[in-house]
Amino acid sequence: MNNMHLSDERSNDQHQPPTEQSPPVGDVVVRPVPPGRRRAFITRLASASAARARAPFRIRWPLLVFASLVLAIAALGAALAILNSPLLDISRVEVEGASVVSAASVKQLAGVKGQHVLLADLDAARQRIRALPMVKDVEISRDWPNGIKIVIVERAPWGRWRANNTVWAIDSDGIVLEGPAPSYDGPIVTQISALPAIAAGAQVDTTALRMADELHQRGAPLPLPAILAFEWSLVDGLVVVTEHGRIVFGGADGLDFKYTVWELLEAEAQRRGQPLLFADLRFGLRPRVEIGINLGRGVLNRDSSAAAVTTTPEPPNLLASSATAPTQ
């Protein structure tokens, strides 16, 4: 009986549910957190995080103002130290690209040596250097810590212009260059009017130079008469001087049409066996023409349907100025 009772008690102990109290670990008794309390703790933690996220950011204005003042004072002190530092005074001026222009003249015109590298007026220096007749463009930059770099673009001879018994070199902008013009196989435009006054730095009509170069390459429309020279004046513009007379082209407008009219006039003059003494091609379909051997003048009236040439006898002295070369 006693044995049966003990076995029943063991079996009852095995079927009893375990209590919440865990066995002691050393002197500390560890008890598990109930599930309800764990969920409540997590919920409170999430609520606190969400509340902090929704809370507006508070700027501490006094601290921010103080920090700004400190930074401003530090920046001002650094700027004053830089502006007063002799280490930034310009002591080096380098000039590049000057072969005809004197580098010493460029440095003197710049006038920046000894100035502070940050305070030097580079735009004013650039304008002074560009005033040189042989300077087409100039670039000035700071070469830290105490230098200035000047790059010169010089004007290059492009054409030739005769005035006052002197042949001047002209660049592509029409600026008269210093020194004698270089010799090359190209036309010379002779100015026969007093104005504009020609000197180094003056500007001439580049259109006339381009027209003269174009006509020089084309040549006369017929083998004879040949082109002898090119003249220019404020009144007539470009004039082609041939072995027989003068052909007034004026401006560059309608150059191809004018050249075609010149060819027709030369052909008509040769058909008649008389030289073309003068032709003013500036009037489109009604050019003023003089054809003859200093004994008459032919006026060619062109319209869209026909062309006619009439000759009117005149005294020889009235036409003496029309021919500029011996007739053939």
What's the CATH number where 276 sits? Answer: 3.40.50
Residue 262 lies in a domain: yes
Q: Using one digit for the tens of pLDDT, what is the confidence trace for 243-258? A: 999 999 999 999 999 9
Reported confidence tier of residue 153, pLDDT bands at 50, 70, 90: very high
Domain limits for position 241: 205-318
Distance CA 160, CA 187 (A): 7
Are residues 211 and 305 both part of a single domain?
A: yes
> C-alpha distances in angstroms, 20 versus 13, 30, 32, 33, 34?
16, 10, 8, 10, 9
Residue 166 lies in a domain: no
Ramachandran region of residue 4, left (φ > 0), alpha (ψ -120 to 50) or beta?
A: alpha
CA atoms 177, 182, 185, 190: torsion sign: positive
Q: How many domains does the chain have?
A: 2
- CATH of residue 125: 3.10.20.310
Q: Using one digit for the tens of pLDDT, what is the confidence trace for 197-231? A: 999 889 999 999 999 999 999 999 998 899 999 99
Which among 151, 146, 79, 80 has a CA at the least distance from the CA of 113? 146
For the question of whether the overall pTM of this predicted structure is more than 0.85, the answer is: no
Are residues 140 and 242 both part of a single domain?
A: no
Residue 111 lies in a domain: yes
CA angle, 274 as apex, 272 and 276 as ends, to 5°? 110
Residue 99 lies in a domain: yes
Residue 14 lies in a domain: no
Residue 304 lies in a domain: yes
Are residues 142 and 237 both part of a single domain?
A: no
